[in-house]
A and B are shown apart, each in its own frame.
Chain A
Amino acid sequence: MKKLCVMLALLFVIAGALPGLAQDMLPYPSQLTECEVDLTGETLNVFHFGDLSGPYAFITQPVVSALTDGVAYWNSRGGVCGAELAQIYEDTGGSREAAQSAYDRFTSTYGDELDLLVLYSSDDGELLREQLAEDEIVSFISAGSIESLYGEDGQTPGWLYASNPLYINQFGFFCQFVAASPEIFPDPVIGFVTWPNAFGRSGTEPAAREYCAGLGVDVLAEPQFFLPTDTDILTQVQNAIDGGANIIYTNTLATGPALIAGTLVDLGLEEEIKLAGVNWVMDTTVGLLGQRVLKPNGLPAVDGMFGSMPFLWWTELSSPAVQFVYQQFTLNQRGPTEQNIAYLLTWGVLDSIIETYIRTINRVGSLDAVTGADIRETVDSMDYAILGGLMHHRFEEGMRDGTMNRMAVMKYANADMSGFATGPADALLVDGPSGKMFVPIVHALTDFMPVPQLRGQ
């Protein structure tokens, strides 16, 4: 695995300009607002809780790693405006009861100090939406469901802010891409094969179907659900195909996309049926776990899978943000499975938390005086390039989610790292814990473009 990490690093070095990465500490990429208040002697806590040991553990573990690295980074440089940075978190194991209990504990223990809370999942967002509003606590989340961000009517902005576009909007964006790419998707019919939770169901709403139909892309009305513990999903995949689907779309992660891709290979339909999904299908875990089943051409089953990529990726090393996070990742000796979306985005979340606090404290005069309402006022007026461009926070006019997205495809590197592998013969193979492994790379197919707004329709 160490070698894999080294090879990935090598990939990056070849792929882009990364001068003297190991030698010189790169400057912090954001143009943070100047501190007007000295917070020396105080502690700025980053509160977060969520599923660290349940179905989402594969993507959430690096959240803690990134925050640990981020907190250490800031404290080694004198903190934020002099205040020591700390993180306070709990594992809810994916249970709603545990999430409610964690929330109750956080609010009762930290009271007025808890003005900003980081959540991980749409389920928790839906559960706590009303309580956050009542307690006036702002929450940052990477991506939320319509209900968590905008309420049941899809029109009532709450106290949760998501950096990624709504999953339904990501799906609408995918339909745009499909409609604009008839050479890849002739006569497109999309069938959902997905998990049955709030995250998994996003995009299956009638509004999304109608929007896609308007673009000439049919979407099957009946989504096919499976559980993360399922060993065999032939029935669900065949249901979708029998329904007419030639594109399978999924809101799953880790083993989810890998299981669908493997099933398509089992059925010999890997070329006929395209696979696509929400931004999490582009995660490193999918690229690694998707190697269990190889296609007849010898490449992993998830090779060629499409997905949303509403932020920069690890390979885009021309960006100072990615260079910086990559350097921190390397310095902290993080493992390959942590080189994923969550690690990258969490550095962004920390950056936006710091910027939010600096702006708010500058306005209200002290850390103690900060309230959730003050934080909300700051966030509502923010137009901020996170880490100088990793993603963008702009929540004007009641927006609670990201508005820009792009499409990408998962591929595997070729041996001389000049492009994509066409088979095992020209693929870059590295030693892994269970033999040779392919090196996954995510390749952007479009520029960043506005997503359609499908909520509340």
Chain B
Amino acid sequence: MAEYINRNKRHLTWALYALAGIALALFVGDQLAGLRAARIVQTLISGLLVGGVYGLVALGIVVINKASGVFNFAHGWMMVVGGMIFWSFFSVNEISIIGAGLLAAATMFMIMTTLSSRNLRERRNLLITAGGAVALTALMTAGGGEWRWLHALTGTFAGAILTGLAVERFTIRPLIGQPLFTAVLMTLAVAEVLHGVTQIAWGTVELSLPIFVDPATGSRFRPIRLDSLREALDGLAIIRVELVIAFVLALIAFFGFILFFRYTSVGLAMRATSEDQQLAQSVGLRVRVILAITWAVAAFLASIAGVLQGGAVGLSLNISFVALRVFPAVLLGGLESISGALVGGIIIGIVEQFGTLLNASEQVGTNLAPYVVLMLVLVIRPDGLFGEKRIERI
């Protein structure tokens, strides 16, 4: 018997997993069978839309990982900073020209000195820096309150680029060539620094960010009510418009990044850099610039996610915790996979919602179900659903 088990260990393990999966499916199926169709459809819609937001957050983490191999624990706080910057521009009618000018100048300075501070010795580069700063300042301050969307978007863009470049320049760049683990630990330190900076700059009181507001009513967009399906579903299902917007933005970002990584020289260079930084440098790729772009892009993605999350529930330091909830989605989809981030986010979103539907009182949806699914997937596909299989020669 022992010999049989030993010989067929692998098959038996798989059989056990299959049995557990079937048992789980039967249990869930039985639970769902007692529910109205409206509840199941509603849960599916909520999971899909919430999952889209998770996917957007996961995308930022994946982009960094894809290019540098670093798992960014500061992503949640980059979301908070981005959201807060957006709020700072969105919530006032008149923007301080000095503040906006400083932000623009700092951003342009960081962009132009990405490769080397000597770049600024050239007259042409100096002119570009000054021109860029003036243009950004103008976009951030021109007009009155009716231009707040433009002010906020430009300010957030500049702030995100500045944050991403600063993080890369002062914390990640000095670690090039060092073990990856050191850089990962550095992101933990960056998270705490951003936490402190946010607290000092914006305080800890929750801020209202009414971006999903219907101008006609002054209220958040009314949800789409599926009244025509009420009879068929035996109840009402609704679709929240702000989550749809977030979901659509997430989809646009995904397809954009898939194309970016596949067809642009910068994207290809980022992929090459993630494979081996030293090798990439030896073939003429500017690793420092590529890493800087990566961090700026990730910070921008984090800012978008922060604004969307802040608009949906309010802007607070708690937003940073969303990134922690997204980690299973990142691992599920595969650490380097753009499409995996979206799929992972959606799966985790749906699993969370169904877990909550079946047992909200024990927090099955948030505390258990995503991790059980993650565990099952990792057993079958250790690199995640879309992760790259790595074969190392020993």
Contact = CB atoms under 8 A, between A and B. Distances in A.
Interface of A: 52-55, 57-58, 61, 93, 196, 222-232, 234-236, 238-239, 242, 254-255, 258-259, 262, 266-268, 285, 288-289, 291-294, 298, 337-338, 424, 433-436
Interface string B202-227: 01111011100100011110110100
B46 interface: yes
A53 B316 CA distance: 9
B318 A235 contact: no
Given A236-B356, A255-B314, A293 B240 contact: no
A227 B360 contact: no
Contact of B217 (A54, A58, A61, A294): A294
B316 A232 contact: no
17 contacts: A52-B204, A54-B318, A57-B204, A57-B206, A58-B205, A61-B203, A225-B360, A226-B356, A227-B321, A231-B50, A234-B42, A235-B46, A242-B39, A266-B223, A434-B90, A434-B91, A435-B210
B353 to A, nearest CB: 6
Contacts of A53: 195, 199, 204, 317
B353 A61 contact: no
Nearest to B217: A294
Contacts of B50: 231-232
> Which interface residue of B42, B199, B206, B319 has the most chain A CB atoms within 10 A?
B206
Instruction: Give the size range of B's interface with the partner.
Output: 35 or more
A293 B223 contact: no
B6 interface: no
Given A225-B360, A266-B240, A291 B208 contact: yes
B360 A224 contact: yes
B92 interface: yes
B272 interface: no
Nearest to A424: B218
Contacts of A289: 206, 208, 314
Contacts of A61: 203-205
Given A222-B360, A231-B243, A235-B42, A288 B203 contact: no
B322 interface: yes
A149 to B, nearest CB: 25
A227 B316 CA distance: 13
Nearest to A255: B314
Nearest to B207: A433
A310 to B, nearest CB: 24
A58 B204 contact: yes
Contacts of B199: 53
Interface string B302-329: 0000000100111011110110010000
A338 B42 CA distance: 38
A228 B39 CA distance: 23
B39 A236 contact: no
Interface string B348-367: 00000100110011010110
Contacts of A229: 313, 318-319, 321-322, 325
A298 B217 contact: yes
Contacts of A52: 204
B322 A434 contact: no
A225 B359 CA distance: 9
Interface in B236-276: 236, 238, 240, 243
Contact of A434 (B206, B210, B361): B210
**10 A-B pairs with least C-beta separation:** A57-B204, A294-B219, A433-B91, A222-B361, A224-B360, A231-B312, A434-B210, A235-B356, A53-B204, A58-B206
Interface in B50-86: 50, 53
A437 to B, nearest CB: 9
Contacts of A267: 236, 238
Contacts of A293: 219-220
Contact of A292 (B46, B195, B208): B208
A294 B214 CA distance: 11
B154 to A, nearest CB: 19
B270 to A, nearest CB: 30
Contacts of A236: 356, 360
B189 to A, nearest CB: 16
B49 interface: yes
A235 B208 contact: no
Most A Cβ at <10 Å: residue of B53, B317, B318, B321: B318
A258 B208 CA distance: 11
B43 interface: yes
B54 to A, nearest CB: 10
B236 to A, nearest CB: 7
Contact of B220 (A228, A234, A239, A262): A262
A17 to B, nearest CB: 31
Nearest to A59: B205
A24 B223 CA distance: 52
Contacts of A227: 321, 366
A64 B333 CA distance: 44
A254 B208 CA distance: 11
Given A235-B353, A289-B206, 12 more contacts: A54-B318, A61-B204, A229-B313, A231-B50, A231-B53, A232-B46, A232-B50, A235-B357, A255-B313, A266-B223, A268-B236, A433-B92
